[in-house]
A and B are shown apart, each in its own frame.
Chain A
Amino acid sequence: GQQVMQIPQYQHVQEGEDFTTYCNSSTTLSNIQWYKQRPGGHPVFLIQLVKSGEVKKQKRLTFQFGEAKKNSSLHITATQTTDVGTYFCAGPTYGQNFVFGPGTRLSVLP
Chain B
Amino acid sequence: SQTIHQWPATLVQPVGSPLSLECTVEGTSNPNLYWYRQAAGRGLQLLFYSVGIGQISSEVPQNLSASRPQDRQFILSSKKLLLSDSGFYLCAWRLTGNTEAFFGQGTRLTVV
Contact = CB atoms under 8 A, between A and B. Distances in A.
Interface centre among A42, A43, A45, A92 (most CB of B within 10 A): A42
Contacts of A31: 98
Interface in A3-55: 30-31, 33, 35, 41-45, 48, 50
B101 interface: yes
Chain B contact residues (Cβ within 8 angstroms of A): what range? 20 to 34
Interface of B: 32, 41-44, 46, 49, 51, 57, 90, 92, 94, 96, 98, 100-106
A102 interface: yes
A88 B44 contact: yes
Interface residues of A, number: 24
A88 B96 contact: no
B51 A43 contact: no
